[in-house]
Amino acid sequence: MKSLKKILLSLFIAASVGTISTSVLAESDPGRISYTPVEAIDLVVSNINAAIAAIDKGASAEEVATLIKLASDGSKEINANDKVDMARTKANRKLKSAMAHAKESALPKAEEELKEAGKDFEALKGLI
């Protein structure tokens, strides 16, 4: 009887862990758009290209900084594995550097940083 209780208790615990597992129940919040890693990379690269185009058209430093901020925010959606995350962090540093240059109104330097960041984000697709 004692061993039967232990077996039933262990089965009950195993069943409850399986049914209440957070990874099983994980889903996106209502109203939140979820992107696959490749979609998120494309979103970031398009925002970077928009910032480069804005610099070429003669946009103000504030407008360029806003576009870079959009790219930086979109990069947070890129999550596939540890290698991708480390490379994303490295590319994100270049975005931050570009944003600092844009805030200082050094748009040519910001454009160089954006081009390098765009190449780095495109390279992330090979790591997925």
The enclosing H or E element of 53 equals: helix 37-57
C-alpha closest to that of 91 among 52, 38, 48, 56:
48
- Report pLDDT for 58: 86
pTM over 0.85: no
Q: 37-127 has which CATH code? A: 1.20.120
Q: For residue range 23-50, what is the model confidence (pLDDT) as tens digits?
A: 555 555 566 667 777 888 899 999 999 9
Task: Report domain extents, the chain.
Answer: 37-127
Q: For residue range 54-68, what is the model confidence (pLDDT) as tens digits?
A: 989 988 888 989 999
